Structure 1
Amino acid sequence: MPQPPWKAWYKLARWRALRLRIFLRDLYTCQRKACGRVEPDTSLLVCDHVIPHRGDERLFWDEGNLQTLCKACHDRDKQREEQASLHMRGVWD
């Protein structure tokens, strides 16, 4: 099955530059209020879409829709929230 076109956006130099801009804007700090971890190692940070873009190019590139999360918060909390929202939207029903 072919990958959706938006997957390739994550490989673009434009995305890499934007990701670093967001980390700098957020002072390399996880934006989860319960966390607030400062992480200088960018491999342990995720540039997260506040509102999932689901292929919407406008949401994907919108700096106001991006936040820094530590990898632990992103992989645990954010993914749990997104999975729950799939059920609420009826995607898996």
Structure 2
Amino acid sequence: METLKRDRFTCQWPGCGLMTGDTSQLVADHREPHRGNERLFWDLANLQTLCKPCHDGPKAKLEARYGA
């Protein structure tokens, strides 16, 4: 929830900017995949707010392409 508050409930994906109070439509996304690394998992600087469509769409494609 800290990440969502910090980002003002606004998707950080470039070109999106969806702002919503409906937290079921937002995801606290890891900028750098943590792969079990607890430091990366809990690092607030490694988290960003994404809306579900951006998280499940372009972000997922990017991670799949680069093996993230």
Bigger-Rg structure (1/2)? 1
* TM-score with structure 2 setting the length: 0.96
Where in structure 2 are there 5+ consecutive unaligned residues?
A: none
Report which of the two has the higher share of helix: 1
Paired positions, count: 68
Q: Which of 1 and 2 has higher RCO (CA within 8 Å, sep 6+)?
A: 2
Q: Secondary structure at the match of 1:58?
A: helix
* TM-score with structure 1 setting the length: 0.71
Between the aligned residues of both structures, percent identity stands at 53
Distance 1:85 1:74 in 2: 15
Output the amino acid matched with 1:61: W
What is the Cα-based RMSD across aligned positions, in Å? 1.1
Distance 2:66 2:35 in 1: 13
Q: Which runs of 4+ in 1 moved over 2 A?
A: none
